[in-house]
Structure 1
């Protein structure tokens, strides 16, 4: 019964039962690469050239709630293929609370169905066929991504270090109070003028944090 299962979780001092439950309830449905392509176009055509004009020689992006890695690898494809970032130091931090999804992300093996938005040239350049209907990410993308287990509800371990934060379709699952806290958290983690990209059905709590609205689902930390 449910009550017996709850008792078992509470009685397990090792925490393994609770971790297994978290893995189950946070394991996502299958995602596609370049989901919401207009957001990746904004990264490629607006954010990266903007950083280049400012004389940047590095870019640091956080994929918060990275699930099985499609978002992080999509970001990596943009960074590796953009002329504005040639010769730059490129780093992506991809975090999730689920060990299961992080293991899948590190493995980097995906069904062909998830890659249908990719052009043949991108598919050939960054993927190798693993089986009849699966592909494996090549090392050129993996080498710029760090996958790390992290709960967004824990105290922030970062401060003003990211140029861009992707946190899409995560805050929608939390109440207003937690969303407000996360928004403040992300604000503190972004560099001045950095961008926060959220899910298309999400909005930030208005007038609560110093973010400027750029366009649907894209916000910018005010420059200091």
Structure 2
């Protein structure tokens, strides 16, 4: 089963696995964990174990039945490169991706070491966009160097939640950067200067920039349930996509 996505930069989600474990500060207030527990309480299919890592092989072939070209975010409720997911299962996921060239698949991970190791011995389908999360300097920035090793047609960074000033970023061989603040009742603030610094470096280095949201804090630094200018940065909405976007 795939579902329509509310994420601004994709169309549908496909979750052949659900559940995860926390490995860095960006995981602290995981939206997927909260949603998984809610779905477990509703007895939704696939969530009997809540947020415990669960492989769902019956979902592997879901995209095969959809002929209309679609942008899929893979594993919005998990991390495909989690240590406990066998290489054989990951290979099955990418086999489906390769068999459906009409679709575009966006795969995002915090397990950049395993990502690079996997693709050192496996091909990357042309229609797979590969990305890593970059929330801070200590954990996030080193993932970029690992992503650079992956011969993907599109490499992207999800700088969300942006938790601090990232300083100077080497964006060579990157094609797209998404920036966003944290949402939810315990959201940590994102400063305007941090987001602007990333945008300016994207512009200087020729990388597409997408501003997703302010999250739980507005551009004025005030906490609110929903910011009236939730996607506006420096007076405009940033919806740039990679040059080869469908």
TM-score (norm 2): 0.29
TM-score (norm 1): 0.31
Select the structure of larger CA radius of gyration. Answer: 1
Instruction: Return the structure number with greater helix share.
Output: 1
Instruction: Return the structure number with greater strand share.
Output: 1
